[in-house]
Structure 1
């Protein structure tokens, strides 16, 4: 029965992407089928084999070690502020982003990341049927972040037509940056975080190739990446400050969104006798069922999914943690992978603002298709959950 529901869910997601397609005649079926097969294989390997579990454990241990190094700096500055045994979210989850951002900056500066992004992007372009620029951008988004990635293609940004710009922005919204993955791993099981990061990469290509199909000629597909002309310490200071800005911005958004959610829930409970989160849970529950969540848990799952869309993934992960004891392991896995992406309303502003800061005209173009970006990125998250549901 679970397999049947997952198959129906997969068909529905692809159909929803098809309905929003710019040019249905140009949709290439073979790369889509190939990428779905790759997603299924990778999900099985990562979640159900010893090799996959060892890889995930190694990655999780690596991030745990990095977070322990980050805590050295945090303890030096903030030691003694909190009581023993407490878990301050800002200090333990958000501030380590500063250290990981610095590491990413170093790897970028010594040309390790550009090398990885270029050749993985080239390899992916052979699978997804898209251009090298689009494939590079998807990998770069996962490594340097949804805002920073546009800096690496700054020289080409003004030359891109709207359809290629859409794909670049869709990749940025469908992935998550490595600087923030460590924070996710403190909130949900690392195996789901790693699996979602990998599967979302292909999911972004699948949905974009249906919603926004096109063919790139060899002449159009020249990959130009901005050269880093900063000194080492200029770069390091910039990445450290960027990491700190991300931590501050996320913490400010969490304060506002969590407080507003509590207020709205209270008002709805007083007026209607049901919280707002429970109400939107009913709206999203059919989607949760198609993702493979048992019907008895679909309303609770739908509420968490809607929370992520309306606020952000951090608020939703906190909500998942609060109700995890009431959910089955299967539901927790499916919801967890759904939450690991930047697909929410605030990302529209973040991405359009990042592009506008580099090229004002193109920033306005991005703002115009912002809702379509969110629609596609949300379908990517649903698709990833359905793929994982085949394996769980």
Structure 2
């Protein structure tokens, strides 16, 4: 029964993507089959084998060390503000982003990251049937972040047609940046974070190639990544440290606003209708939760968390998930994979603003297909969670 529901879930995802396709005749099915097979194999390896456990364990250990190093700097500045053994969310979860951002800056400055990203992108382009620029951008988005990634391709943005620009933006919304992966790992199990990172990479290509299919000629498929402007090492380091702090503060501000607004809306709905807004949305998203592999008795509860992520952000939803102690481990795993992406309404503004800052007219183009971006990115999350659910 589990496999039948998963099959129906996968068909539902692709039918929903197909219904929104702008060029159904150009959909290439062979790359879709190959990438779905890769998703299934990778999900099995990561979630059901000792090799996967070792990879995830190494990944989690590396980040635990990084978070420990970050704590040294945090404790130096904020030590004594919290009781021993306790740490406020901003200090314990968000401020480590500053150190991770600095580390990314060093790897970027030494040209280690650009080399890795560019050549992984080239390999992926052979699998997904898309352009090298799209493949590069997908990998770069998972490392640099959904707004910073556009800086690395700013020379090309002004020349990209609408359909290629959509794919670049879709990749940015479907993934998450390495600078906040450590924060996620303090809130949900690392194995679900790693699985989601891998599955979303392929899922983003799959959904984009159905919703927005096209072919790139060899003349168009030139990959010239924008190099950073000449900076001294310490200029770069200061910039990345400040960028990391800005991200931490922005996330904190959004959490304060969204958590407060959701609490107020829940209260108003409860007074007026005897049901909270999140519970109401839970019923809307329950069928999707069920098709992802979540038992029906938990589907409404899971759907509420999924909806919270969509209308606010993944941090709010992860905090919400932590409050639901009665969910089974399989449900927690499926929801966790679903939550690891930037697919929410606020990301539309972030991505459109990032592109607009580099190219005015292209930023306006992105804003016009913003809801279409969110639709596709949400389907990517559903697809990844459905595939992961088969092995949980």
Query: Which bracket does the TM-score occupy, shorter chain normalised?
Result: over 0.9
Aligned match of 1:138: 138
**1:218-229 matched pairs, under 5 angstroms:** 218-228=218-228, 229=230
How far does residue 148 in structure 1 lie from its aligned partner after superposition?
0.4
Aligned match of 2:287: 286
State the secondary structure of the residue aligned to 2:81. coil
How far does residue 134 in structure 1 lie from its aligned partner after superposition?
0.2
Aligned match of 2:15: 15
- Give CA-to-partner distance per residue, 1:245-300, whole Å, 9 cap, x none: 00000000000100111111111111111111111100100110011100000000
- Aligned residues: CA RMSD: 0.6
How far does residue 68 in structure 1 lie from its aligned partner after superposition?
0.4
1:51 aligns with 2:56: no
Aligned match of 2:233: 232
CA distance in 1, matches of 2:167, 2:299: 31
CA distance in 2, matches of 1:59, 1:262: 35
- Between 220-229 and 96-105, the greater mean CA deviation after superposition: 220-229
CA distance in 2, matches of 1:97, 1:85: 20
- Give CA-to-partner distance per residue, 1:84-137, whole Å, 9 cap, x none: 232310001000000000000110110001100110000000000000000000
CA distance in 2, matches of 1:283, 1:63: 36
Aligned match of 1:70: 70
- Give CA-to-partner distance per residue, 1:131-165, whole Å, 9 cap, x none: 00000000000011000000000111100001000
Q: Which runs of 5+ in 2 are unaligned?
A: none
CA distance in 1, matches of 2:159, 2:316: 37
- Give CA-to-partner distance per residue, 1:319-370, whole Å, 9 cap, x none: 00000x2111110110000000000000000000000011111100000000
Aligned match of 1:350: 350
CA distance in 2, matches of 1:227, 1:169: 20
Aligned match of 2:263: 262
CA distance in 1, matches of 2:355, 2:166: 12
**1:21-32 matched pairs, under 5 angstroms:** 21-32=21-32
- How many positions carry a matched residue from both structures? 391
**1:179-258 matched pairs, under 5 angstroms:** 179-228=179-228, 229-258=230-259
- Give CA-to-partner distance per residue, 1:1-48, whole Å, 9 cap, x none: 111000000000000000000100000000000000000000000000
- Between 257-266 and 173-182, the greater mean CA deviation after superposition: 257-266
State the secondary structure of the residue aligned to 1:205. helix
CA distance in 2, matches of 1:68, 1:294: 37
CA distance in 1, matches of 2:227, 2:377: 29
**1:90-169 matched pairs, under 5 angstroms:** 90-169=90-169
CA distance in 2, matches of 1:239, 1:308: 27
CA distance in 1, matches of 2:163, 2:321: 36
State the secondary structure of the residue aligned to 1:326. coil
- Between 170-179 and 274-283, the greater mean CA deviation after superposition: 274-283
Q: TM-score, normalised by structure 2?
A: 0.99
State the secondary structure of the residue aligned to 1:297. helix
State the secondary structure of the residue aligned to 1:391. coil
Q: TM-score, normalised by structure 1?
A: 0.99
Runs of 4+ in 1 over 4 A off after TM superposition: none
State the secondary structure of the residue aligned to 2:390. helix
- Give CA-to-partner distance per residue, 1:40-66, whole Å, 9 cap, x none: 000000000001101000000000000
